[in-house]
């Protein structure tokens, strides 16, 4: 073979090797980037409001990446895991994500949605484990409320009145800085931890019952209509009316 042809062949092999190395390096970088965004795969969800998004957990599940698709939030967000006794809880960018079983409760601002995995014959849904002793998010909404409602709530209509929900299901009613009534409270749903009440219970609704002693001794029942980090709204079922509160330190 002439020397010139040999040189052409060697040069061609060098070029091919260089292109191959460049392609591999870029492919590896792309793969590494994809893995860092979701080391354990990507899982699509659809919410009861019609919104859709996908979730990718990190390798150690210390964070998750949410990618919207007609969802109630805009743009890709990364949420960090928060210690919780009611499901796997992640927070960030004004979003609270709580997973229990295969379901998810997603709170964006003042809006809470129940979201379930989109069926996929090739990939099983991500399982977050049980919240407490129960099953999925719908069955454990009262448990999640029991954790999120803890703290002091000041009446919007009467700033002198503060209701404090404490751990171990204790509650204090405070007026002008003094505890006037104390007692116990419980969150319940239809068929889940529900006491006997003189009114029909709605599906997928959380209720509160307060058993108070002291100057305002009574048993009170409320329907929860709003619960966010800053706002609490209850419908007083026994006598009617709406109680609105804001969170205080």
CATH of the domain at 186: 2.40.128
Structural domain count of the chain = 2
Do 155 and 131 belong together in one domain? Answer: no
The CA distance from 50 to 27, in Å, is 36
For the chain, the first-to-last Cα distance in angstroms comes to: 88
DSSP for 95-120? EEEEEETTEEEEEETTEEEEEEEPP-
The CATH number of residue 76's host domain is: 2.40.128.50
Give the pLDDT of residue 218: 85
The CA distance from 236 to 157, in Å, is 15
Give the pLDDT of residue 161: 96
Whether 140 is in a domain gets the answer no
Do 126 and 162 belong together in one domain? Answer: no
Tens-level pLDDT at each residue, the chain (249 residues): 554 555 455 454 444 444 445 444 443 444 443 334 445 889 999 998 889 999 999 888 899 999 999 888 999 999 999 887 667 889 999 899 988 888 888 888 878 888 999 988 877 888 887 654 444 444 457 777 888 899 999 999 999 999 999 988 999 999 999 999 999 999 888 877 788 888 899 887 889 999 988 666 789 999 998 888 889 999 999 888 999 999 997
Q: Which are the contacts of 99, defined by CB distance < 8 A and separation ≥ 6?
A: 87, 88, 90, 105, 126, 128, 137
Residue after which a domain boundary falls, among 70, 101, 135: 135
Give the angle 53-138-199 at the CA atoms, nearest 5°.
Answer: 135
Do 57 and 116 belong together in one domain? Answer: yes
Q: Which domain holds residue 215?
A: 149-248
Do 90 and 127 belong together in one domain? Answer: yes
Give the pLDDT of residue 158: 95
Whether 27 is in a domain gets the answer no
Give the angle 163-167-171 at the CA atoms, nearest 5°.
Answer: 30
Give the pLDDT of residue 22: 46
Do 129 and 153 belong together in one domain? Answer: no
Whether 61 is in a domain gets the answer yes
Whether 23 is in a domain gets the answer no
Q: pTM here?
A: 0.51
Give the pLDDT of residue 130: 64
Give the pLDDT of residue 43: 93
For residues 8 and 16, the answer to whether their CB atoms sit within 8 Å is no
């Amino acid at each position: 073979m002439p020397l010139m042809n040999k040189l052409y062949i060697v040069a061609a092999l060098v070029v091919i090797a260089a292109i191959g190395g460049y392609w591999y390096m870029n492919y590896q970088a792309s793969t590494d980037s994809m893995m860092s965004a979701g080391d354990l795969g990507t899982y699509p969800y659809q919410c009861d409001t019609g919104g859709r998004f996908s979730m990718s957990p990190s390798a150690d599940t210390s964070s998750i990446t949410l990618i919207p698709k007609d969802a109630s939030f805009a743009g890709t967000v990364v949420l960090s895991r928060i210690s919780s006794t009611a499901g796997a809880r992640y927070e960030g960018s004004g979003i609270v994500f709580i997973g229990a079983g295969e379901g998810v409760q997603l709170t964006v601002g003042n809006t809470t949605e129940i979201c379930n995995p989109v069926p996929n014959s090739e990939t099983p849904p991500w399982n977050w484990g049980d919240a407490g002793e129960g099953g999925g998010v719908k069955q454990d909404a009262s448990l999640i409320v029991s954790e999120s409602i803890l703290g002091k709530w000041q009446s919007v209509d009467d700033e002198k009145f503060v209701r404090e929900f404490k751990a171990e299901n204790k509650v204090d009613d405070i007026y002008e800085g003094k505890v006037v009534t104390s007692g116990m409270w419980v969150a319940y749903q239809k068929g889940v931890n529900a006491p006997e009440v003189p009114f029909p219970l709605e599906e997928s609704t959380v209720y509160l019952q307060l058993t108070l002693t002291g100057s305002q001794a009574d048993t009170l029942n409320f329907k929860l209509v709003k619960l966010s980090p800053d706002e609490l709204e209850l419908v007083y079922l026994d006598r009617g009316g709406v109680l609105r509160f804001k969170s205080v330190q």
